Each structure stands twice: as structure tokens, then as C-alpha cells.
Chain A
Amino acid sequence: MIEELYDEKLKILEEKANEIRRLIIEMLFEAGSGHSAGPLGMADIFSALYFHILRHDPKNPNWQDRDRLVLSNGHICPVQYAAMALAGYFPKEELKTLRKINSRLQGHPHRTSLPGIENTSGPLGEGISQAIGMAIAAKLDKKGYHIYCITSDGEHQEGNIWEAYMFLGKNQLENLTIIIDRNYIQIDGFTEDVMPLEPLKQKLESFGLHVLEVDGHNIRAFVDAVREARSEWKRTSVIIAYTIPGKGVSFMEKKFEWHGKPPNKEEAKKAIDELRTLGGKIISEHQ
């Protein structure tokens, strides 16, 4: 049961999202490579998941009854690493090891490297299938945990995804909720220019899935959408979350050029200043 979001908790989740964004910028600058736009765009959703929705125990990551969070588009892992560090899975200091030698924080997440990571990913289109396997296992074992799978819109160009949707059309698994990060960008440009996905909602509905749409930066609306998805007891739910790539850093927003590169020193400073002041809403003592 996911609780309704009250104003005080909402404020906490918004602050966590902002902190996640700051950590993303810091770790990407430190790493010198990696993806910026996707992780920033998903910070609000990860805040909601790790600090309100998921039933989990950071001190006991292998707890058998935990909810599973499967990240299909592994390249946005900085947002997951940041959320996990804030939740207490590992020290925040470790975020600086991202993409470096001997780190548990691989450039694309590796399950056996870091406790709390449920699947190895990076090559696209493979997460929903693995989430299906986990959902079937939960049913066979009569366990009540829920599986959440985060996917990107771009990776819906992979055939594997549609194989998985076809499977779900036949074997409706209500203990699985899929969240699509609909940010309209991919490496080579805008999704609708590279290989159009629309009408995405109708396509998913035609597979027999329960489809919801939500503003991916409105944490309250997102939590409500997940609550609605969880109340569906017959079908697998898919939440299309509309997000702004690069959200929170003005010069990165909506620019596909920021899909796969990190900020340099000046850009990182500028980004963190913006995040500290919430885009100028707060007067910083450093200014």
C-alpha cells in the first residue's frame, strides 16, 4: 500500500530530487564521461520511488520481500546511484568513483557489483523481459512484492520490448508496473525524427496493457499514477511519464546534445549554482 502524498512529504521529495540532481552533476563532472540529460530528467521519479514508493531496506538490500526496481535503460544509472547513496545503500563519497577503475559504480549498472542493483543493463530493450521473469517468480513463490521497470522511450525501437509487451498481453502480470521515460530524445536526435514512436499510448493499449500518462516532474501526480497502477488487479500497467531531458539545468533542458556527455568544470559550476538557487527562486548566500 502506497500512502497518499501529504504536503510535508512532497516538500521532502522535492528537496531529495534537487539533491539527486546536484549529485548527478558532481559525479558526472568527476567521471569525465557519461549521460547528463536522462538522469536529470528522471530525478523527480527516482526521488518518489526511493523515498516514498518502494518497499525496501538499504541496510538489507537482499531482503527477499523487497520491491524490485529494474532499470532497463542502464545509461541513466547516475540518477539511480545518487538516489541509492542518499537512501543509504552506500556512502555518498563513493559516487566519485563512478566509471573509474575498481569501482562498484560501473558506467552501466552491474548487478553483481553493487548490492541493490537488480539487473545488469546498458544494452537496450532487455529490462521488461527480466522484470517479467521476476514477476512470474514472485507469483510462483506466492510473494507479494511488486516489480517496477523503468524504460526509456528511445529503447522502444528495440524489438525485444515488443516481444515482452506481446507476452504481457497474453500473461497479464498485475504485479509489474512499467514506467516509460518519455523525454523525446535519443543519441542521434529527437525520437520522432530518428524513428517515430507515436502514437505510443495507442500502441501499448492495443497490446492490452493498462496505460496511464503523467507529468514526470509532478511528484504528487506521479505517486497518484503509481497508486492507480497498483489498484489495477487484472492487467500490467504502463505509466508514460513525460519528462524534460536535462530538467533543472536550464542550458541542458530539451537538448539531445546533452544525452551522452558530461558537463565540464564551468558547466558543472553553473549547473550547481542553478540547482542551489532552484533556478533563481532562492537567493544564494554565495552570490
Chain B
Amino acid sequence: MLNPELKLNPKIFEEPEERPIRDGFGDALLELGEKNSNVVVLTADVAESTRVHKFAEKWPEKFIECGIAEQNMAGIAAGLAVSGKIAFISSYATFSPGKNWETIRTTIIYNNANVKIAGHHAGIATGPDGATHQATEDIAIIRCLPNIRVISPCDYFEAKKATLYSADIYGPFYLRFVREKTPVITTEETPFRFGKIEYFWKPKTEKAEIAIMATGYLLYQALLAAKELQEEGIDVCVLNVHTIKPLDEKTLLEVANKVKGIVTVEDHQIHGGMGSAIAEFLAKTKPLRIEFIGLQNTFGESGNIKDLIKKYGLDKESIKSAVKKLLS
């Protein structure tokens, strides 16, 4: 059953409302503009599609259009940040932190500059634009950097809360956003606890044999799978891993001690992503079997989100099969 403590969307299993995760980022920036005069926003010619255009209209003097120049954008943000500003850089994740990775490493992360990197168009969920614009390696290349905090929100509301949270904490953050509309899983009242892995679906019997750990919008597919599995008599739990770094090792170990196996779910390469982060930790504390749902050493392609997650094995059916594989 859905965890009642989290006040999740009650209509989650009855055609829930769909909203783009990136809108949560844009709406949070509007609030931040009101609230904190030090917030500045930079983009590299993708203001509208990364949802910073409303901030730009309202606070033109605090909005910096860098043109198609992601390295320059990262460097300017670092300079602003060491001068007391809270700088958000907003572009597609394939370009930022893809194209400007070393600039981010040197001038933002190693330099400990207060810059928030918003990586948009994450995952094959980017859809029709094709693999060039579908960031499926961004978690891997960013989470390996020391001292960065990495959040991959599951829906509109979580994206908004994560963005607001990041502005309150000094230091570099990576925020991962998705382009297409995706189901709204949480509500305005759902608490956002940075650094926590949260139970979104609890087993009927309190004795789940398998834990499904999902990050981002695919959490919805995990919840659908859990519900259907329960109807088939298989009890699982579903956990939302919105914070990929630092990883909630305490909860992870507690869960691992209770179950036979774990299924990790993410719209990202299986190498280096959230599943890898979990495996790295459990390999030294509580080794157990893990099935990794994600891109299996392949790029995506053009298509709609529904067809893509089916073809690349990220949908509820794939999650159910992975659970059954671990039980067999």
C-alpha cells in the first residue's frame, strides 16, 4: 500500500495528472527570485525549454544569457558564486555537465563554488529528439565528483522542493530534470527530506521479499509494478531514491537486511548510475542479488516515452520480470 505518512497523490492509480518535472524547477526559481536577492540564473540558449524564461522576464538583471557556450556559462557561474551569488546554470544535461564537465570539475566543484547545475532532458524520456539529446550518462559523470550533492526528483512537486532546498545549502548541487509530462506522484504536502530514501509503497505483511529502489519519474512504473505484484500475491516495497549523493546508507542497509534482493530502476545507463551507487555500498556491507533496470549498454533513439520505456525495458512489466527473476 502507498505510505500514508507521505500524503502522496490519492489518485495515483486512477490516471493521475501529468506535469513536466522541469516546470517544478522553473516555478521554484520564481519563488527564489522573490525570496533571495542573491539568486542568479544562467542559460546557454535554452531559456524556454529549461523553464528559466519566466525568471528572465521578471528579473532580467539577474538573468544571464550565455548563448551556445556551456563552458563559459559554467565559468561565469563560478565567478558569480565566489562573489556571493547563488548561481543556477540551466541547460540540457548532455551539454552541461556533458560538454563542460572539466570546467565544472575545476571551477565549480574543486573550487567549492555555490553553483546549482540543472541538467535537463535527462533520460530516454526526452523522446523524439533522439539519443543525442537524451542524457543517459549524467549521473555517472557527476556523482563521481567529490562533495557534490545529486538529486533526481520523481515529479513536478519534488523538483520544485529540491530546487528550493538546494538554494538554502551552500555548495554545488546537481539537479536532474525530465522534459516530458510525467505522472504527479507526490503532493504539495509530501515532505521532501534531502538525503533520505523514502518508502513510497509498503508491503501488506511487512515482510517484503524484494525491494524496488527507483529514482526519477520511473518511480511511477515501480509503484504500478508493486500494485500488480501484490494482486499476484508477491509483496514488495518501493523506495524513492531522490538523493543519489550522499546516499542514505542507513536506510539502505536496513532494507537490505530485510529482503532477498533489490531491483534498481532508473532512466540512465546501468553503469555508473543510481543502481551502481547502491551496489557499491552493499557490496561492502550486505552483499545480495541486484537486478539493474536501466539502459543496458545502449543509447536510446527517437520515439514517444511510452514506446521507449517499453522497448528499452524500463516499464512496469520489466520491473515485474526483474522481481520474479530474483524470487526464482
Contact = CB atoms under 8 A, between A and B. Distances in A.
Contact of B80 (A110, A133, A160, A163): A133
A134 interface: yes
Interface residues of B, number: 29
A126 B61 CA distance: 23
Given A120-B110, A123-B106, A167-B69, A132 B75 contact: yes
Interface stretch (B81-89, B179-187, B212-220): B81-89
A131 B79 CA distance: 6
Contacts of B76: 129-130, 132-133, 136, 167
Interface in B69-103: 69, 71-72, 74-85, 87, 102-103
Contacts of B103: 123, 126, 129, 160
Interface in A231-247: none
B134 to A, nearest CB: 25
Contacts of A204: none
A122 B71 CA distance: 15
Interface stretch (A93-101, A137-145, A219-227): A137-145
B112 interface: yes
A130 B113 CA distance: 11
Label chain A's interface by main secondary structure: helix
A118 B82 contact: yes
A137 B79 contact: yes
B56 to A, nearest CB: 15
Contacts of A166: 67, 69
Interface in A108-138: 110-112, 118-123, 125-138
Interface string B165-199: 00000000000000000000000000000000000
A189 interface: no
B40 interface: yes
B108 to A, nearest CB: 9
Interface in B21-48: 40
A44 to B, nearest CB: 27
B111 interface: yes
Interface hub of B69, B83, B111 (most chain A Cβ within 10 A): B83
B43 to A, nearest CB: 13
Interface string A137-177: 11011000000000000000001100110110000000000
A140 B61 contact: yes
Contacts of A130: 75-76, 78-79, 82, 107
A129 B74 contact: yes
Contact of A137 (B66, B80, B107, B111): B80
A239 to B, nearest CB: 20
B109 to A, nearest CB: 9
B178 to A, nearest CB: 28
A123 B110 CA distance: 12
B110 A160 contact: no
B75 A129 contact: yes
A160 B71 contact: yes
Contacts of A163: 66-67, 69, 71-72
Contacts of B83: 133-134, 137-138, 141
Given A160-B72, A160-B103, A132 B79 contact: yes
B79 A140 contact: no
Contacts of A164: 72, 75
B64 interface: yes
Contacts of A134: 79-80, 82-83
B62 interface: yes
A282 B108 CA distance: 48
A152 to B, nearest CB: 16
Contacts of B87: 133
Nearest to B84: A137
A133 B79 contact: yes
Interface in B94-134: 102-103, 106-107, 110-112
Nearest to A120: B111
Interface of B: 40, 61-62, 64, 66-67, 69, 71-72, 74-85, 87, 102-103, 106-107, 110-112
6 contacts: A129-B107, A133-B81, A140-B61, A140-B62, A160-B69, A164-B72
Given A130-B82, A136-B64, 15 more contacts: A112-B112, A120-B107, A123-B103, A126-B71, A126-B107, A129-B76, A129-B103, A130-B79, A133-B78, A134-B82, A137-B79, A137-B80, A138-B83, A140-B85, A160-B103
